[in-house]
Structure formats: C-alpha cells, structure tokens
Chains A and B, each alone.
Chain A
C-alpha cells in the first residue's frame, strides 16, 4: 500500500506546487516509486514545474471518467525513472472531480507505488477537500506571514475533521509543517514572522524551513524541481525535508540565515 501525502495550505502562492514537485522528486531519488497528482483542475501547473508539459496527452479527469487508462495518463519523469506525474485537466473545472473517482485512481496507484503526492489547489473548496480526503500524511506549506498562518490553521481543522481517516475514526492524518519563503534577515528586522511565532499558533512537527531563494523561480522556469539544484539553499532544504520525512534525524538549517561579514565582525543583532 502506498502512503498518500497531501501538500496543502489553504492560501495560494505559498509554494504548494514547488513543494509537491520537490518532495516527489526527492522521494523518487531516494529509490521510492512515487506518483505526483495535480489536483488543481483548470489551473494546471505541476507539469510546468516538472518540465513535462509538452508530453501531456491524457489527464486525471480522463482517467476518472474512464476515457483513458492510468498507464496512458501517467507521465514518467525524464530526470528520474521512479517518478510519475498525473497532470490535471486544463479545460475542465473542479466539479469534474468526484470522491468516488479520486478514490478509484488512488486505489489503483496504491498497488504500484510507494508514495502518492497530492498537490492540492488553494482554497477550501472541492478540489482541496478531495486532495486531502484520502491522505495519510499532510505537508502544510506556510509562509511566515499572518494570513498564510491563519489559512494553514483553517486547513488543519479541515484535515482533522473532513478526511476519510476522521470519518472512519481512524488514526488522524499526520500533519507536518513546511515553512517556505523564509527570509531570516527580514525575520530579524521584525518584518516577517519567526519560526516561533508560527509554531505558537500551529504547533506542528517541523519538517523543514525553505529559505526564500532566487533558485526556486529559475528552477520553475526551467521546468526542473528545485531539489535537483543541489547547490541552492532551497534545494538542500527540500532534500533535508525528504530525509526527515523518511526518518533521518537532521538539525534544522536556514533559521538564522547567512552570517554576513560585517555582522560577524560587529556581532549579530538579536
């Protein structure tokens, strides 16, 4: 049986798709056969981030409607042969998703894959609800700003009440925090919430801090998950996230940011 991971946030633009692509690639790179599904029907993006947009023939909705088989729709990643992408439909909307249909696709994928990563759309409507409904684990992607934290908190409420696990009274979804677009310098200036501020409200197990990094945007534009950019801080941070999720104990990095030359010389501000 596969482990189903939902990457969710409530708020848009916080880095769900970037995270989905990165961790799916990370898991596959570690030797685990992984599928990543784009639940953002109508606003298909995951294929762009993974650089497979020109190979999309069939999509998730085609599979749900029985117009294509799963094998026809799954796209094998060109960088890692253990990673498969199930793209969203760009011409349909979220109403095309049904709980029964999603369940059937996930069941079928579960037979063959170790991990299934569900890239949730923003919002708390049907697409987001179906992306999390079948999940075993949730990666809650949050930016260090108050509206993102509030929306994540809302999402956590939905995770604990509207999932299949909650409905069946099973062990609840395991929730992890991923703090993305974190800028340690701006945190020090008080312009951004600190890790402690965020944790005071969310109090979740921290899987990693992804520092704000130019490499994320250039990786997206190049269609390469940022985790493959091993030189970049964001890439390393995502590699740490995957390792921690798989059980490795690693100290958290990128909380304090880079130590500048002048700051080293004169002593850091608290």
Chain B
C-alpha cells in the first residue's frame, strides 16, 4: 500500500496573546512600569508572546524607535510577535526585524478594564497590558469577554470524575456533578446546576466569565484566581449567577 501521509498541513487556529498598549515613548518609564507588572505575575509574563499596539502613541504624535522598544521587551523576556497601529516608519522597522504587522480593523477596539480613563487623569500609565481585543462598537464601562473562535456544546450530564476541556467557550445544558471538572480557555456557561469544579480562562484570559443557573460548585476559577465552595457566599449559593474577575478578585453576581 502506498504511504499517503502528507508532509505537512495548514490549519487555521486562534491564539490568545497579550497586547501591550503604549501611552508614552519614554523608554525608561515603559521599562519601569513593565517591571512592576511583571513582578505581579512573573510566571505569567515569562516568555509570553506579545503584540505591541502603537495607536495611542501615534494619536498623540509621539514617535518611537521601534527597534529600541523591541530590544527592551526582549530583555524583560517577552517575545514580541506583532505590531499594530504603527506608522509607515515603524512598520518598516518591524518588517526589518521580522515582526508581522497586524492591520487594525476600523471597529476593533480593546477591552477597557474598569472605568474609561478621563483625559485629565493625573496617573496616566506608561503602558497598559491587556488580553486580546474584541469587536466592540463603542466604549463600555464593563469588560466584555472575548468572543471565542469556537464553542463546545455539551448536552449530556457531566458525571463525577469526568473532565471536559474546551479550547474556546464551553456551553453545557445539563448538570455538572460534584467531582466533575469543566475547563475552558474562554467562558463557561452551565444552563443547569453546577456542582463540580469550573475553570474558565485557563490560559490566563482574565476577561473570561462563568455563568450558571444554580451555583453549588466545589471550586470556581477564572485565569487562575479561584474560590472553593467554603469561600462562596451563602447568598449566591443555589442562585443563578455570573462570575468574573475584577482586580484579581472573583466577583459573583446574581443574575436577576
């Protein structure tokens, strides 16, 4: 029989990568802020791919030596893998450094965490690290979870000892038993009783959320921040809730 295994194959896939939005061209300020951020979660940022967003900077007509910023990022152990919103000169520099250029769609805007910054705000950050962008027509005060490329739908009950992993969102229509474990890189929706462990945003997507009809979970986690059932508020227990992350704190809110 002829061996027909092909040498290679192209496939389409979606990746999550943090985006670095620069608000200043002051390299010293950028480096200092980066170190502060990295110190908060060294493992999370170590060797992380990174996309550099220069739109804010170019809006303010602040020019930046792109080669220098790349050297700085590599020094603090990031892997810059893309540039977006750069001007002609910056794109040219990027190309010379073999860094792909992402053309920003008109409507594309990143998530704003917390209240949008007022222009007169005194503490303008030098750089802001965010996860992935999402299509959003207007600026909103609350973050919206990114729309995952794929969603996994489960209609069977998830029994004790079973594990489900979804690369995107996970939608479950039946109950999740105690001792079961459901994990998703995106959001988790359980349109039934959630008794097992639910872990959303397992690759560090802090904008991921968990939604469930009846919260009785053993453990809930978003991007590594977790609560066990012992720490769950009695008031939201047995209620329909959504769970999201705000300043590294899990917020459990009843859905009316």
Whether A157 contacts B175 by the Cβ 8 Å rule is: no
Are the C-beta atoms of B177 and A153 separated by less than 8 Å?
yes
A156 touches B175 (CB 8 A): no
B160 on the A face (CB < 8 A):
yes
Instruction: Kindly list chain B residues whose C-beta atoms are within 8 Å of the C-beta of A156.
Output: 157, 159
Report if A203-B161 is in contact (Cβ < 8 Å); known contacts: A157-B180, A160-B156. Answer: no
Q: How many residues of A contact B (CB 8 A)?
A: 14
Interface contact A157-B162, CB-CB below 8 Å: yes
Residues of B within 8 Å of A150, CB to CB, are 160, 178-179
Cα A124 to Cα B179 in complex, Å, equals 15
Q: Contact between A158 and B157 (Cβ–Cβ < 8 Å)? A: no
- Considering the complex, give the chain A residue whose CB is closest to the CB of B196: A153
Q: How far is the CA of A154 from the CA of B177 in the complex (A)?
A: 9
CB distance from B143 to the nearest CB of A (A): 35
Q: Let me know if B178 and A153 touch, CB within 8 A.
A: yes
**Bound state CA distance, A24 and B103, in angstroms?**
70
Nearest-Cβ distance from residue A164 to partner chain B, whole angstroms: 17
Contact of B160 among A153, A161, A200 (CB under 8 A): A153
Q: How many residues on the B side are at the interface (Cβ–Cβ under 8 A)?
A: 14
Point out the residues of chain A lying under 8 angstroms from B156, CB to CB: 160
Instruction: Check if A158 sits within 8 Å of B161, measured CB to CB.
Output: yes
What mask results when residues 153 to 196 of chain B are scored 1 for a CB within 8 Å of chain A, else 0? 00011111110000000000001011110000000000001010
Let me know if B175 and A154 touch, CB within 8 A: no
Q: Which residues of A contact B195 (CB under 8 A)?
A: 201
| Main SS class of interface, A | helix
Q: How far is the CA of A155 from the CA of B157 in the complex (A)?
A: 13
Determine the chain B residues whose CB is within 8 A of the CB of A158 once the complex forms: 159, 161
- Chain A 132-165 interface residues, beta-carbon cutoff 8 Å to B: 150-151, 153-158, 160-161
Instruction: Indicate with 1 or 0, residue by residue over A181-208, a CB within 8 angstroms of chain B CB atoms.
Output: 0000000000000000000110100000
Closest to B174 in A: A203
How far is it, in angstroms, between the C-alpha of A151 and the C-alpha of B161 when the chains are bound? 9
In contact, B160 and A154 (Cβ under 8 angstroms): yes
Closest to A157 in B: B159
Closest to A160 in B: B156
* A160–B161 alpha-carbon span in the complex (Å): 12
Within 8 A of A (CB), among B178-216: 178-180, 193, 195
Report chain B residues within 8 Å CB of A155.
159
Residues in chain B near residue A124, CB distance under 8 A: 161
A154/B157 in contact, CB under 8 A: no
- A160-B175 Cα distance, complex, nearest whole Å: 15
* Chain B residue with Cβ nearest A158: B161
Chain B residues with CB under 8 A of A160: 156, 159
CA distance A154 to B179 in the complex (A): 8
Residues in A whose Cβ lies below 8 Å from that of B158: 157
Expressed in whole angstroms, the Cα–Cα distance for A237 and B175 within the complex equals 30
Which residues of B in the span 3-26 have a Cβ within 8 Å of any Cβ on A?
A: none
Provided the pairs A150-B179, A153-B177, A154-B179 are in contact, do residues A203 and B160 lie with their beta carbons within 8 angstroms?
A: no
Chain B residues with Cβ under 8 A from A161's Cβ? 162
Question: Given contacts A153-B159, A153-B177, could you give 5 more A-B pairs where the C-beta distance is less than 8 Å?
Answer: A150-B178, A150-B179, A153-B160, A153-B178, A201-B175
Chain B residues with CB under 8 Å of chain A are 156-162, 175, 177-180, 193, 195
> Which 10 A-B residue pairs are closest in the complex by CB-CB distance?
A157-B159, A153-B160, A154-B160, A157-B162, A154-B161, A156-B159, A153-B177, A153-B159, A157-B161, A150-B160
